[in-house]
Amino acid sequence: MNRLVSFPAALLLAAALGGCGGSAPLTFDLAALPVGGRPAVTGRAIVVAEPVGIQPFEADRIIVRQAGGSLSFLGGGQWADRLPRLIQTRMIQSLENAGRLRSVSRPGDKVVADYQLISEIRAFDIQTATGEAVVDLSVKLVADGTGRVTAARIFTARVPVASIDAGAGAQALDRALVTVLGDIVRWVNTGR
């Protein structure tokens, strides 16, 4: 009888220890738009603030939204940085790569800017009910110095997800973000 009690206990201990030395999650990055090569035409300088969002979006984890609205983290994968910082970096790179602004910087870079681009992450997740990766950003262009909102818009993209796993989810979210970044860059540069 003593053997039966100790064998399950040994299995539980082995499972607990196995979790400590488990494999690290895969790390995924997000892409910026490629270099456009057009000359600067607006001559404007823009500061891009780090997006804000609810607490789950503040992490480096890939989020899954269940049919009932509950949020969970997708196991086996993570972003290369905190999601807001990663989106901010790719937004700056995309605006720079378009080549139409005098300068694009971050707050704290001590660059005098004409406008500040502020944004909120409304969705950046895999939705199981629809099988889609959804990126939804609310973006405002604010006149520097006055704080007046000169333009505001919501940018959304939905991309089908092949399967609900880290690799397919990250790839679909990346494609959705590239669509949103393209729309944001056009909007900032042309007002449309």
pLDDT tens for residues 106-123? 999 988 899 999 999 999
Q: How far is CA 17 from the centre of its chain?
A: 33
User: In angstroms, rounded to a whole number, what is the distance separating the alpha carbons of residues 35 and 82?
Assistant: 24
Give the per-residue pLDDT at 30: 96
- How many C-alpha atoms does 41 have within 13 Å on its Cβ side? 7
Average pLDDT over residues 35-52: 82
Average pLDDT over residues 5-25: 45
Average pLDDT over residues 77-105: 95
Where do the domains of the chain lie? 25-190
| Residue 55 φ/ψ region, left for φ over 0, alpha for ψ in the -120 to 50 degree band, beta for the rest | alpha
User: In angstroms, rounded to a whole number, what is the distance separating the alpha carbons of residues 42 and 120?
Assistant: 25
- Tell me: the pLDDT tens digits for 121-142? 999 999 999 999 999 999 999 9
Give the per-residue pLDDT at 111: 87
User: In angstroms, rounded to a whole number, what is the distance separating the alpha carbons of residues 9 and 19?
Assistant: 16
Average pLDDT over residues 94-110: 92
CATH domain 25-190 topology: Rossmann fold (3.40.50)
- Tell me: the pLDDT tens digits for 142-185? 997 888 999 999 999 999 999 999 999 999 999 999 999 999 99
Residue 3 token pair: 């053997």
